[in-house]
Amino acid sequence: LLMSWVNNGNPKKSGGEINSLVHDVLRHPDFDVNELKGFDAGRANKQVDLDAQAAFPLLSNFKETSIEIEVPSGSQTVPPKKFAVPGLQYRSLVSVIKSAFEDPLSGHFHFAPFKLFHKLRNRVAAPIRVFSELYNSNAFITEHDHIQRHGKIHPDDRGCKREKVIAALMFWSDSTHLANFGTAKLWPIYMLFGNLSKYIRAKPSAGAEHHVAYIPSLPDSIQDEISKFHAKWSTQKGDIMTHCRRELMHAVWKYLLDDEFVHAYTYGIVIKCADGVERRVYPRLFTYSADYPEKVLLATIRDGGGCPCPRCLVPKSEVHLMGSARDMTARVKNIRKYLGSLVNTARRFIYKFAHGIGSKKIEDLLKETSSVPTLNAFIERLGSDFNLHQMLVVDFMHEFELGVWKNVFTHLIRLLYALPDGKDLVAELDRR
């Protein structure tokens, strides 16, 4: 019977798997053939999935929903249409913040920021300001002072005298391929707390890095659906799909920055911390670390456009001046600002008057600053005072270690190989 099953026409059964079936399953002392009565493989697989969720409670904390993006029709007589993108896995940001402040690890949180100085042995010299953590940065100190003076309290809790503190949020996301072959990938968003020292926060064993969402990809079917709907699909396919990817990123963030989070951002939330003290906690977004392709999505600017930086308006023609005094002055002088009125005008031309996303009408409005016709979720939800572009900090790994430094180091090794004793010199470099 066993060998008849082996040779039933399916060539994928290896000899090792057959031996494992016999010795590890059929002859296992705990195996009871009577337990297979009424067995169904599909039902058994579902039970395994449920057992896995029970073993890993983190998975059960995630919810799943679909995100809608609005796509223009390319025709003035046909209204825009909303398309659903399934598969957003997410956790409530407010619930994660509450859990973190209630966790024993919050005993290491710094609720009050401070300036750190190094005093030299030579007492004549002035102490040197040291920047080592988010909680001794000017940004944290300034925002902390602001909420002490101007932090709003909801009218229902007007008499609240609790200590006002900041939940210093630091986000990070990176689209990750799951295999060397194929297209399977994950796009996670992580949230960390700048109240916690980086020496604790960076330890994998600390559990201080919180998964908050997995961004879905546009399904393959959406191209078929849009091609039947958009009047100018054949000539504008590339622009439309790029626009959809931008819309998806900000639809996800608009969903994550929900009404509960905006209420907490405005009025604070009362949390009984691990030390037993109730505090009014105001979430604040300080940093978002991502590689360049994700930064341009978040900043709602063009990838490699005429002004390629997410933080300033230095033109591409002056990028070679990087590091010079002139460049440093230009970065400060030409700070990038979100041009909401121009974006809304461009969207009206696209969605109401059927102009192409890459048409001259849109280019005249947005090209000068490399802006794109996508409403930025952070500005939409947190207000025009939110400093979106300063949030997008330098990603040291992507922008230096895997970028500039990797290229320089690779070039140095090539130079060594080019010398007469190149192999020996590279071996000496390895030894050192």
**Does a structural domain hold residue 48?**
no
Domain count, the chain: 4
pLDDT in tens, 370-420: 999 999 999 999 999 999 999 999 887 777 777 778 888 899 899 999 998
Residue 55 forms part of a structural domain: no
Q: Does 9 reside within a domain?
A: yes
Residue type at position 390: Q
Query: Which tens digit of pLDDT belongs to each residue from 284-302?
Result: 999 999 999 999 999 999 9
Asked if residues 211 and 72 have their Cβ atoms less than 8 Å apart, the reply is no
Q: Is the pLDDT of residue 129 over 70?
A: yes
Pair (226, 271) in one structural domain: yes
At 36, the pLDDT band (50, 70, 90 cuts) reads confident
Closest C-alpha among 172, 201, 174 to residue 185: 174
Instruction: Give pLDDT, residue 185.
Output: 78
Report yes or no: 393 and 272 within 8 Å, Cβ to Cβ.
no
List, in sequence order, every residue forming a beta bridge with 64; answer none if it has no partner: 89
Query: Which tokens is 5 given?
Result: 């099953």
| Residues 83 and 173 placed together within one structural domain of the fold | yes
Alpha-carbon span 228 to 92, nearest angstrom? 36
Residue matched to tokens 């670390």: 289
Positive or negative, the Cα torsion across 26, 31, 36, 41? negative
Tell me, yes or no, whether 422 lies in a domain.
Answer: yes
Asked if 41 contacts 61 with a C-beta cutoff of 8 angstroms, the reply is no
Tell whether 16 and 111 lie within a shared domain: no
Ramachandran bin of 50, using left for φ above 0, alpha for ψ from -120 to 50, beta for the remaining angles:
alpha
Same domain, 344 and 247: no
Kindly state whether residues 165 and 231 are assigned to the same domain. yes
Tell me, yes or no, whether 73 lies in a domain: yes
Q: Are 292 and 307 part of one and the same domain?
A: no
The rounded Cα 224 to chain-centroid distance in angstroms is 28
Asked whether residue 389 is assigned to any structural domain, the reply reads no
Structural contact between residues 108 and 83, judged by C-beta atoms closer than 8 angstroms = no
Residue 116 φ/ψ, nearest 5 degrees: -110, 130
Q: Quick: pLDDT tens for 318-341.
A: 999 988 999 999 999 999 999 999
Are residues 25 and 160 located together in one domain of the fold? no
One domain, residues 259 and 326: no
The residue range of the domain holding 214 is: 62-299
Rounded distance between C-alpha atoms, residue 139 and residue 136, angstroms: 9
For residues 77 and 131, state if they share a domain: yes
Establish if 41 belongs to a structural domain.
Answer: no
Pair 309, 274 in one domain: no
Same domain, 285 and 307: no
Provide the token pair at 417: 């190989």
Determine contact, residues 281/167, Cβ cutoff 8 Å.
Answer: yes
d(CA 430, CA 432): 5
Write the pLDDT tens digit of every residue in 136-189.
Answer: 999 999 999 999 999 999 998 888 999 999 999 999 998 886 665 556 678 999
- Domain boundary pick from 358, 373, 388: 373
Residue 384 counted as domain residue = no
Q: Identify whether residues 108 and 231 lie together within a single domain.
A: yes
Q: Which residue has the higher pLDDT, 6 or 39?
A: 39
pTM higher than 0.85 for the full model? Answer: no
Number of H helices, E strands in the chain: 19, 11
